[in-house]
Copies of this chain bind each other. A is one copy, B any other.
Amino acid sequence: MTVRFGLLGAGRIGKVHAKAVSGDANAQLVAVADAFPAAAQAIADAYGCEVRTIEAIETAKDIDAVVICTPTDTHADLIERFARAGKAIFCEKPVDLDADRVKACLKVVKETGAKLMVGFNRRFDPHFMAVRKAIDDGRIGAVEMVTITSRDPGAPPIDYIKRSGGIFRDMTIHDFDMARFLLGEEPVAATAHAAVLVDKAIGEAGDYDSVSVILETASGKQAMISNSRRATYGYDQRIEVHGSKGMVAAENQRAVSIEIANGDGYTRPPLHDFFMTRYTEAYANEIAGFIAAIEKGSPITPSGADGLAALVLADAALQSVKEKRQIAIL
């Protein structure tokens, strides 16, 4: 079976998914839509597909699934439309920045029985998958303490910050999902501290750039998350899980891993400086996982519920900062 795809949104991340779909032996990229015709045409040219309108994709009989890479504020509407149109849906995170809107959208997904995957790409990183597998294989016993360090090479433009929903919903949300992925038990409480240490303009935009979070589950398992919008040494992405029988960690990745030694010491190159080079394999695995789930009719993970759960944690973290107290997750 070949899964026939429509791509909604031909921007940076749209290109990544266009390439992944085209390179997958079990998938075919049929059409692409974008508000900017030139962007859509470029992808059409590169991968031999058609340019269509969103409406045309919605009603197309030669399309089984869509990949939604449009701006965030269109996600929930598009998910609802394509759920009703009977297409399988892969949507970049987040479904929406507002939890109530997400809930309403997921209600439609449920009613229509649509298949929906939310783009938490890090679950598909081979190193993080290997961490999860080590846990599943019993290598570290019962999970007790998760530590996630996630720092961006540099802050995005202030315009982006203003539309982002804030650091917890925009950046930490990946770590909330990863914490849930690794803890294996739902957090019931969240505490956070946040500050502006990197760029005052971020603070003036009402956001933070440096945050620390603790999550706790009902049985007392704990996850700590450290975020910064700036790391001079590259895209810092580490996870560590401490358990009753041992510990498993995934260290940072480098594009080039040589080491140069001289009187100043031993130096290895900086890390990847961009999420797309760091997570190249994750993006490919993610789409492959979506295609495989459609083909096999198996459950899709991460689901819309996963997207909502991470957003709820983000909202709780923000509330914790504002109210200087632990927030219970209901």
State the A residues within 8 Å of B (CB). 23, 25, 46, 126-127, 130-131, 134, 139-140, 142, 144-145, 147, 149, 151, 189, 191, 193, 195-198, 210-212, 214, 216, 219-222, 224, 226, 228, 230-233, 236, 242, 244-251, 253, 255-270, 324-326
A133 to B193, CA, bound (A): 27
Q: Name the residue of chain B whose CB is nearest to the CB of A273.
A: B263
Min C-beta distance of A243 to chain B, whole Å:
9
Please, which residues of chain B bring their CB within 8 A of the CB of A126?
255-256
Min C-beta distance of A204 to chain B, whole Å:
15
A231 to B244, CA, bound (A): 8
A203 to B326, CA, bound (A): 21
Please, which residues of chain B bring their CB within 8 A of the CB of A25?
46
Inter-chain contact A258/B269, CB cutoff 8 Å: no
Copies of this chain in its oligomeric complex: 4
A268 to B134, CA, bound (A): 12
Task: Known contacts A247-B233, A269-B265, A270-B265; decide if A131 and B258 are in contact (CB<8 Å).
Answer: yes
Min C-beta distance of A10 to chain B, whole Å:
17
Task: Known contacts A242-B151, A263-B233, A325-B324; decide if A145 and B270 are in contact (CB<8 Å).
Answer: no
Counting from the closest, the 3 A-B pairs by CB-CB distance are: A195-B220, A246-B262, A233-B261
Min C-beta distance of A122 to chain B, whole Å:
14
**Residue with the highest number of chain B CB atoms closer than 10 Å, among A198, A224, A262, A326:** A262
Q: Name the residue of chain B whose CB is nearest to the CB of A190.
A: B193
Task: Known contacts A233-B261, A253-B257, A324-B326; decide if A197 and B212 are in contact (CB<8 Å).
Answer: no
